[in-house]
Amino acid sequence: MSPQKFKRQLRVYRIVFYKETLVDPKEHFWSFVGAFIGISIIAFIQSLSLPDLENIFLIGSFGASSVLIYGAIQSPLAQPRNLIGGHVVSAFIGVTVAKVMPDIIWLTAPMAVALSIVLMQVTRTLHPPGGATALIAVTGGTKIASMGYWYVLSPVLSGAMILFLVALIFNNITKNRHYPVKDSRLRLSRRRQLRKRFQ
């Protein structure tokens, strides 16, 4: 690559990086409020129904989901179908792997994550924190293992629904934030694929 092309490419990267990190301070505020309220509701429900040591409702993958649905609401991976479907599909895979395969962590952990990624791709519900949801199902200890498929309904589905409802409220308060995104790249590409298929 010539020095001129390299400099031009570097300028492009700087502009793209600048635009990607150029966020209105109001956006920071609403991201904070949404994430705080969403996680606090799940934590409050947990504190009412379980001892402090049994952190079942407050699974780690919800923190990662909060980054997407409150901080990167334009992302195709943050849309409701991905949020809810990704968690549910991954939880189902994780529990199934934990039940079917022998309790060998170096086998169950990668199998749960890898299968959840493939099934999320197939169902068009790709949500990166879903991989953690599947992993928690096989590494979460005896309490989660004893829940079996109830793990899919609660904490996973119930927690994802709480995060989604809070996102609907706080991501639509101002004119600049819209959730879910109506014209996301993912939806547009899906529409194009469907048009091509039926033409």
- Give the model confidence (pLDDT) of 45-61 as tens digits: 877 766 554 557 789 99
Q: What are phi and psi of 10, to 5 degrees?
A: -65, -40
Q: What is the DSSP track for 1-49?
A: --HHHHHHHHHHHHHHHHHHH---HHHHHHHHHHHHHHHHHHHHHHHHH
HSE value, Cβ hemisphere, 13 Å, CA-based, for 61:
26
| Per-residue confidence (pLDDT) for residue 63, from 0 to 100 | 95
Per-residue confidence band for 152, with pLDDT thresholds at 50, 70 and 90:
very high
Does pLDDT of 113 surpass 50? yes
Burial class of residue 104 in the structure, from the number of CB atoms within 10 Å of its CB (0-12 exposed, 13-18 middle, 19+ buried)? exposed
pTM for the model stands at 0.79
Q: Which two tokens stand for residue 7?
A: 């400099």
Enter the tokens of residue 168: 């609907």
Give the span between the Cα atoms of 158 and 88, in whole angstroms: 10
CA distances to 50, 57, 121, 144, 157 from 161, in Å: 20, 12, 21, 20, 6
Q: ω into residue 180 within 30 of 0, thus cis?
A: yes
pLDDT at 146 over 50: yes
